[in-house]
C-alpha cells in the first residue's frame, strides 16, 4: 500500500478547484452519506423524503446566494461543463449565429466547435491584451447580422479578467439575442446577482469559488428560456408512464438519481459563502494583489491580464523570459510543497488571445484558505527557482 499523499504546504490552485473545503461542507457530505441515503423523489419513506427536503433546501440556499428569484430555475448539474453544454446545445440550432468572446474555456469552446460543425455560425470577438472583451466589438457583430446569442465567461481562468457582463447583456437584449454566461470563475469570488446581471443562462461550478464538493455545479435558465433537454431518463415524482420528460423545472433537466452528497455539500458551501463572502473576497483581493505585485518585482516575470489595481478574480498567471512554466510548477511542488498549475489550463482560445499558446503559463489561484505566509512562500520560491 502506498503511503498517504503529502498535502501541499501552500495550496494555490483554487482556480482549478478549492481545497480544503470548509468543515461545514465536509460535515454535510458525511451527513448525506450516513443519514440521507434514500433516493430523493423515488420513495415515500422517511429517509427518501428527507433527502428530497435536503435537496430542496440546498437549491433554495444557492438561489438566494446567486440572486435567482425562483429556485426551480436553478438546476443542479454535474459541473459547469455540463451546464455549459446544456445552455449551448439546448438553445442553439443549425442556422443560428452566435457571438462569443475569445477568452472562453474549453467548456464553451468545444461545444461551440461541435455546434459549428452542425451548422451554427460562431463569430469570435477578440479580447484585448488584458483579456477584456470590448462590448463595442460585440455590438458591431450583433448589429452586422442577427444573432441568437452572445456568449461570454464572467471571468477568465487564465488572466482573472472580469468581463462586463451587464453591458454585454444589454447589447444582446437590444438586438434580440440571448446572453449566455460561463460563470465558473465568478461564483463565490464575485458578488453575483444573476437577475441584475441580465443573464438568460448562467452556468457555474460548485467546487471552485463556491467551495462545494467536486461533481456538482449549477445552471440558471431564465423562466422563459426553453432549452432542449440533453439527457432524458427517470425523474421521480410521478408521471413515469409518459415517454417524455416532464415540463416542470427542475425535474425536466435533472434526469437520473441526484448527487445527494454533492448537492447537500454545495448547499452547505453556499451558506458558508453567504456568511463569510464579503470578508473572504476582501482577503482574497488583498492576497492576490500582493502576489501580483510581488511577481512583477522578480526579474524576467510578466503577469498576464489586467494591471494591479484593476479588479480581477483571484487568479494570477505569469510567464518568465528564461524558465518555462512546467519547470516552475515542478520545482514549486517538489522543492517547496506549493500546488500551482502550469500549461494551457483547458483554455487554448485564451492563451492564443494573450500570446502564450506556445509556452503556456504558471497559474496561481488564491482562495479562502490562503494566508500571507502562503503568498510570501510562493514569491520566495519563484525568486529562487528563476535565480538557480
Ligand atoms: C472558465 C471555466 N469554465 C468552465 C470550467 C469547467 O468547470 P467544471 O470543472 O465545473 O466542469 C472551468 C474549470 O476550470 C473554467 O475555469
| Residue 299 maps to a domain | yes
Q: pLDDT at position 4, please?
A: 79
- Distance, in Å, from the CA atom of 83 to the CA atom of 236, rounded to the nearest integer, reads 21
Mutation test residue for ligand 1: of 75, 156, 346, 349, the one with most atoms within 8 Å of CB: 346
- CATH number (domain holding residue 161): 3.40.640.10
Whether the pLDDT of residue 339 is over 90: the answer is yes
| Residue 51 maps to a domain | yes
Whether the pLDDT of residue 8 is over 80: the answer is yes
- CATH number (domain holding residue 292): 3.90.1150.10
Whether the pLDDT of residue 322 is over 90: the answer is yes
Q: pLDDT at position 349, please?
A: 98
Q: pLDDT at position 227, please?
A: 98
Q: Are residues 257 and 358 both part of a single domain? A: no
Digit-coded pLDDT (tens) for 42-65 = 888 999 999 999 999 999 999 999
Worst-scoring range by mean pLDDT, 235-244, 282-291, 317-326?
A: 235-244
17 Cα to the center of ligand 1, angstroms: 9
Place of cell 448537492: 263
Whether the pLDDT of residue 232 is over 80: the answer is yes
150 Cβ contact partners less than 8 Å away, ≥ 6 residues apart? 98, 99, 100, 138, 142, 168, 169, 171, 172, 177, 178, 179, 180
86 Cβ contact partners less than 8 Å away, ≥ 6 residues apart? 75, 77, 203, 219, 227, 229, 230, 253
Whether the pLDDT of residue 308 is over 80: the answer is yes
pLDDT classification of 6: cutoffs 50, 70, 90? confident
Q: pLDDT at position 42, please?
A: 87
Atom of ligand 1 nearest to the CA of 153: 1
Q: Are residues 133 and 71 both part of a single domain? A: yes
Q: pLDDT at position 1, please?
A: 66
| Residue 1 maps to a domain | no
Beta sheet of 315-320, edge-to-edge order: 301-303, 315-320, 361-365, 341-343
Atom of ligand 1 nearest to the CA of 16: 14
Q: Are residues 220 and 110 both part of a single domain? A: yes
Mean pLDDT (the chain) is 97
| Residue 222 maps to a domain | yes
Residue 46 and residue 37 in contact, taking contact as beta carbons nearer than 8 Å: no
Q: pLDDT at position 123, please?
A: 98
Atom of ligand 1 nearest to the CA of 217: 10
Whether the pLDDT of residue 2 is over 80: the answer is no
Short-list 93, 199, 111, 95, CA closest to 152? 199
80 Cα to the center of ligand 1, angstroms: 6
Read off the pLDDT of each residue in 104-120 and give the average, rounded to a whole number.
98
84 Cα to the center of ligand 1, angstroms: 9
Residue 177 and residue 148 in contact, taking contact as beta carbons nearer than 8 Å: yes
- Given 227, 242, 272, the domain boundary residue is 272
38 Cα to the center of ligand 1, angstroms: 30
Worst-scoring range by mean pLDDT, 1-5, 165-169, 226-230?
A: 1-5
370 phi/psi in degrees, rounded to 5 = -85, 155
Mutation test residue for ligand 1: of 100, 184, 189, 361, the one with most atoms within 8 Å of CB: 184
Whether the pLDDT of residue 191 is over 70: the answer is yes
Q: pLDDT at position 344, please?
A: 96
Digit-coded pLDDT (tens) for 376-388 = 999 999 999 999 8
Atom of ligand 1 nearest to the CA of 83: 11
Q: pLDDT at position 44, please?
A: 87
pLDDT classification of 314: cutoffs 50, 70, 90? very high
Whether the pLDDT of residue 3 is over 80: the answer is no
Read off the pLDDT of each residue in 1-9 and give the average, rounded to a whole number.
81
Q: At what angle do helices 80-89 and 106-117 cross, to 10 degrees?
A: 30
For 69, how many CA atoms within 13 A lie in the half-sphere containing its CB?
5
Whether the pLDDT of residue 41 is over 90: the answer is no
| Residue 220 maps to a domain | yes
Which residue's C-alpha comes closest to atom 14 of ligand 1?
16
Digit-coded pLDDT (tens) for 255-284 = 999 999 999 999 999 999 999 999 999 999
| Residue 5 maps to a domain | no
104 Cα to the center of ligand 1, angstroms: 10
Q: Are residues 255 and 321 both part of a single domain? A: no
Ligand 1, pocket residues at CB < 6 Å? 16, 79-81, 105, 107, 153, 157, 182, 184-185, 205, 217, 346
Q: Are residues 213 and 320 both part of a single domain? A: no
184 Cα to the center of ligand 1, angstroms: 5
Cis previous bond, 156, omega within 30: no
- Distance, in Å, from the CA atom of 222 to the CA atom of 214, rounded to the nearest integer, reads 25
| Residue 2 maps to a domain | no
According to the 3-state scheme, what is the secondary structure of the chain?
CCCCCCCCCEECECCCCCCCCCHHHHHHHHHHHHHCCCCCCCCCCHHHHHHHHHHHHHHHHHHHHHCCCCHHHEEEECCHHHHHHHHHHCCCCCCCEEEEECCCCHHHHHHHHHHHHCCCEEEEECCCCCCCCCHHHHHHHHHHCCCCEEEEECECCCCCEECCHHHHHHHHHHCCCEEEEECCCCECCECCCHHHHCCCEEEEECCCCCCCCCCCEEEEECCCCCCCCCCCCCCCCCCCCCCCCCCCCCHHHCCCCCCHHHHHHHHHHHHHHHHHHHHHHHHHHHHHHHHHHHHHCCCCEEECCCCCCCCECCEEEEEECCCCHHHHHHHHHHHHCEECEEECCCCHHHHHHHCCCCCCEEEEECCCCCCHHHHHHHHHHHHHHHHC
Mutation test residue for ligand 1: of 104, 112, 205, 313, the one with most atoms within 8 Å of CB: 205
Whether the pLDDT of residue 113 is over 80: the answer is yes
Count of structural domains within the chain: 2
Q: pLDDT at position 135, please?
A: 98
| Residue 202 maps to a domain | yes
Domain that holds residue 346: 10-20+277-387
pLDDT classification of 295: cutoffs 50, 70, 90? very high
Digit-coded pLDDT (tens) for 203-213 = 999 999 999 99
Short-list 372, 345, 222, 236, CA closest to 291? 372
Atom of ligand 1 nearest to the CA of 208: 10
205 Cα to the center of ligand 1, angstroms: 6
Read off the pLDDT of each residue in 3-11 and give the average, rounded to a whole number.
87
328 phi/psi in degrees, rounded to 5 = -65, -45
Residue count of the chain, please give it: 388
15 Cα to the center of ligand 1, angstroms: 9
Read off the pLDDT of each residue in 312-317 and give the average, rounded to a whole number.
98
Amino acid at each position: 500500500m502506498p503511503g498517504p499523499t503529502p498535502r501541499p504546504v501552500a495550496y494555490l490552485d483554487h482556480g482549478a478547484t478549492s481545497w480544503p473545503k470548509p468543515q461545514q461542507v465536509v460535515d454535510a457530505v458525511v451527513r448525506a452519506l450516513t443519514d440521507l441515503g434514500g433516493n430523493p423523489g423515488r420513495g415515500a419513506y422517511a429517509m427518501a423524503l428527507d433527502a428530497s427536503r435536503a435537496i430542496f433546501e440546498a437549491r433554495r440556499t444557492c438561489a438566494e446566494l446567486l440572486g435567482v428569484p425562483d429556485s426551480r430555475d436553478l438546476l443542479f448539474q454535474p459541473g459547469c461543463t455540463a451546464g455549459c453544454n446544456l445552455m449551448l446545445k439546448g438553445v442553439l440550432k443549425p442556422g443560428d449565429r452566435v457571438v462569443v468572446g475569445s477568452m472562453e474555456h474549453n467548456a464553451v469552446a468545444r461545444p461551440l466547435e461541435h455546434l459549428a460543425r452542425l451548422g451554427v455560425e460562431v463569430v469570435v470577438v477578440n479580447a484585448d491584451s488584458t483579456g477584456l472583451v470590448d462590448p463595442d466589438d460585440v455590438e458591431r457583430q450583433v448589429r452586422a447580422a442577427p444573432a441568437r446569442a452572445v456568449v461570454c465567461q464572467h471571468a477568465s481562468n487564465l488572466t482573472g479578467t472580469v468581463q462586463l457582463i451587464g453591458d454585454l447583456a444589454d447589447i444582446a437584449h437590444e438586438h434580440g439575442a440571448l446572453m449566455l454566461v460561463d460563470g465558473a470563475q465568478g461564483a463565490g469570488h464575485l458578488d453575483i446577482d444573476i437577475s441584475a446581471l441580465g443573464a438568460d443562462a448562467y452556468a457555474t461550478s460548485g467546487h471552485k469559488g463556491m467551495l462545494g464538493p467536486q461533481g456538482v455545479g449549477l445552471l440558471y435558465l431564465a423562466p422563459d428560456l426553453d432549452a432542449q433537454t440533453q439527457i432524458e431518463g427517470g425523474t421521480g415524482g410521478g408521471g413515469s408512464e409518459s415517454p417524455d420528460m416532464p415540463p416542470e423545472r427542475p425535474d425536466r433537466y435533472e434526469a437520473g438519481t441526484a448527487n445527494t452528497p454533492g448537492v447537500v455539500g454545495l448547499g452547505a458551501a453556499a451558506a458558508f459563502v453567504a456568511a463569510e463572502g464579503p470578508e473572504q473576497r476582501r482577503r482574497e483581493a488583498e492576497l492576490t494583489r500582493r502576489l501580483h505585485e510581488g511577481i512583477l518585482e522578480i526579474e524576467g516575470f510578466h503577469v498576464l491580464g489586467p494591471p494591479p489595481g484593476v479588479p480581477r478574480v483571484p487568479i494570477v498567471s505569469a510567464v518568465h523570459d528564461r524558465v518555462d512554466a512546467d519547470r516552475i510548477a515542478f520545482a514549486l511542488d517538489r522543492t517547496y510543497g506549493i500546488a500551482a498549475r502550469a500549461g494551457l489550463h483547458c483554455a487554448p482560445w485564451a492563451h492564443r488571445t494573450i500570446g502564450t499558446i506556445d509556452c503556456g503559463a504558471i497559474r496561481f489561484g488564491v482562495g479562502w484558505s490562503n494566508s500571507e505566509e502562503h503568498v510570501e512562500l510562493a514569491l520566495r520560491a519563484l525568486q529562487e527557482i528563476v535565480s538557480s
